[in-house]
Amino acid sequence: GQQLNQSPQSMFIQEGEDVSMNCTSSSIFNTWLWYKQDPGEGPVLLIALYKAGELTSNGRLTAQFGITRKDSFLNISASIPSDVGIYFCAGADNYGQNFVFGPGTRLSVLP
């Protein structure tokens, strides 16, 4: 079945640094979502992407829908302690109802 890979699996950064993470698939997707999950909570939607090449921002977060439609990137600028958590990507194929989720990137921010 469809699978998503996320890299890196985990990362430790200093507060104030920029962060980049990505999500790749062997299949083409037509929708990409990025979620953040805090410990003991459900994933919270950060950014939704619906068009190849689309670049969308949400505050310090920027995500891009890869032009090959097989990948997506999430960047966080000037990281702060509350950015700590697990970041999941999710993809859906054309008119599919269901999303496939990646395994997540665990972000730790050091003061």
Partner 1 sequence: ETGVTQTPRHLVMGMTNKKSLKCEQHLGHNAMYWYKQSAKKPLELMFVYNFKEQTENNSVPSRFSPECPNSSHLFLHLHTLQPEDSALYLCASSQWTSGSRTDTQYFGPGTRLTVL
CB of 95 to partner 1, least distance (A): 6
What's the rounded Cα separation, in Å, for the pair 23 and 41? 22
Encoded one letter per residue, x for contact with partner 1 by CB under 8 A and - for no contact, window 2-21 reads --x-----------------
Q: Which segment (14-22, 54-62, 74-82, 88-96) binds partner 1 by CB under 8 A?
A: 88-96
**Which residues inside 28-87 make contact with partner 1, applying CB under 8 A?**
30-31, 33, 35, 40-45, 48, 50
104 touches 81 (CB < 8 A): no
Among 19, 25, 104, 105, binds partner 1 (CB under 8 A): 104
109 strand-pairing partners:
13
CB of 65 to partner 1, least distance (A): 13
Q: Residue count at the site for partner 1 (CB under 8 A)?
A: 27
Of 47, 29, 60, the C-alpha closest to 88 is 47
Query: What's the gap between Cα 66 and its chain centre?
Result: 12
Look up tokens 């972000």; give the residue. Answer: 107
CB atoms within 10 A of CB 38: 12
User: Which residues here bind partner 1, judged by CB under 8 A?
Assistant: 4, 30-31, 33, 35, 40-45, 48, 50, 88, 90, 92-99, 101-104
